[in-house]
Each structure stands twice: as C-alpha cells, then as structure tokens.
Structure 1
Amino acid sequence: MSNPTYVQEYKAIVEVLNRYNEGGKQANSSIMKPAFSGQATIFGVDADAKLVGGPIQGLFDTIDNPPFRPSPEAVGVIVSIDIVGTAANARIDTNDISGFCFTDFFNLLKVEGKWTVVSKIYHTHIAP
C-alpha cells in the first residue's frame, strides 16, 4: 500500500480555515460563512460546565454582535490538519479575538469537490 499525499487537499483546507480566522478577526460572519456547511453545528462548555451550542448560525450571531468587535491584533494559527480521503479534522488556536482566547476543533468533509466544515467544538481559555 502506498502512502497518499494530500498536499492539494491540505492547501484547500487551509483556505477554508483561513476564512474562519479572518471572519473572527474582522468580527464579520459573512467572511466565514462559506467555510461551513449549512447543516454545521457548534458546541462548547460554558462557565457552569454545561453543554452549549447547536446550529452554526449561533456562531454567526455571536460574531456579528457585541462583545465581539474587529480585532486586528488577533492571531490564529492552524496547529494541525489530519486528512484521510474525504474526511479531515483540524485544530486552530486563537489569541485575542475581542479579548477571548480559543482552541477550536473542526471536522471537515469534502462534499462535491469542496472542503466544508460540518462541526466545530471549542474551548474558551481564561483571558490573561
């Protein structure tokens, strides 16, 4: 069995994830929306250790409203991408998006030739 090379797939996934990073940095969901399937979900754990989340529209609503604001100083890095065929997952660490720091985990699928995020889970770090 030969080892598959996913260089082109990796680059395509980076483009999708960069849309997410840029939308967060600009506090503008219209930039990040194309990265997500219309059926995507988002989940996390709140300060009371309760599960929160649901349809991805919740992320878009949060990004577009206070306390989120454009954060030109924000830094988001893609920590890892793992690809197998038409499935992939990725991790992004982001510092200082409107004063928040996050670790996000994304599940992506290649649907009709395009990579799309189908789910996101996240951890909110205590801001320094």
Structure 2
Amino acid sequence: MIDQTADIAAITRVVEHYVDGMVFADESLLREAFHPSCKIIGHYHRELEWLSLDEFIGAIKAEGPAEEGTAPFWEIRTLDITGDSAVAKVVDDYLGMRFTDYLSLLKIDQQWVIINKLYYLHV
C-alpha cells in the first residue's frame, strides 16, 4: 500500500490557497494554486463560463475581498489520487453562494497544481 499522506496534505494546501485566494481576492494565492494554462468552466447564473486563469482572477478581483475576519468555508468531499494525478470534489462558499467544484490536479516538479476547475453553482 502506498502512503499518500504527504500528497493529501499538499493537495489540501492547494485547495486552501484556492479558496482563500478567491474569498480574499488574493491573486498570488490563486496563481500558486492554479496552473497558468488551466480553465475554469461552469454555468454562472445560467450563463456558460469558460475562463482562463487571467479572466478568473480578473473576475475575482472585480468582486473584491471578503471582510477581514471572514472564515472561508470549504470542505474536500472526495479525493482520488493516482500517481501524479488527482481529482478533488470540493464544496465551498463564495459571496454567499455555494459551489461544488471538481478540481483536476497534476503534480508537476513535485508541486501539486489545479489544471482544471469544473464547477456547479447551487441555486
């Protein structure tokens, strides 16, 4: 049996950076969590979004950061790791909205990064 403890911890940090970066409009955390060539895809208020990382960061920055002292809500519901590939199902809140995110991750140069985000906005 393979011990994936270090990979689980590293992926958890990536997810935390992603959610904190989104909630607090922190571009550096978002760029750390995502691969530069990633795509962010889903229906946002019934309109299809197919965003690059720069477009996603721009949209997050336009909304602005949450109030200081805000405790971001997120939870990894499932995590499947095979070698240097992983998929995480994450539930998180952003601007009063609840999302389910399916994050594809890849370990590149010993660093886990999100290579794609497919999301569902709960209505």
- Percent of residue pairs identical: 25
Task: Flag the structure with larger Rg.
Answer: 1
Q: Structure 1 residue 9 and structure 2 residue 7: aligned?
A: yes
Instruction: Please tell me whether the aligned partners of residues 20 and 72 of structure 2 are also in contact (alpha carbons under 8 angstroms).
Output: no
Structure 2 residue 29 is the aligned partner of structure 1 residue 31 = yes
- Structure 2: distance between partners of 1:82 and 1:100: 25
1:63 matches 2:35: no
**Partner Cα separation in structure 2 for residue 110 and residue 94 of structure 1:** 23
Count the aligned residue pairs. Answer: 121
- TM-score, reference length from structure 2: 0.87
Please give the per-residue CA displacement for 1:32-62, whole angstroms capped at 9, x wherever unaligned: 21011111111102444x5321312221111
Q: Which runs of 5+ in 2 are unaligned?
A: none
8 Å CA contact 1:39–1:56 kept in 2: the answer is yes
Alignment root-mean-square deviation, CA = 1.7
8 Å CA contact retained: 2:40, 2:56: yes
Aligned to 1:21: 19
Maintained 8 Å contact 1:69/1:98? no
Checking the alignment, whether the CA contact within 8 Å between 1:43 and 1:52 is kept in structure 2 is yes
Q: List gaps (5 residues or longer) in structure 1.
A: none
Letter in 2 for 1:86: D
d(CA) in 1 for partners of 2:111, 2:72: 27
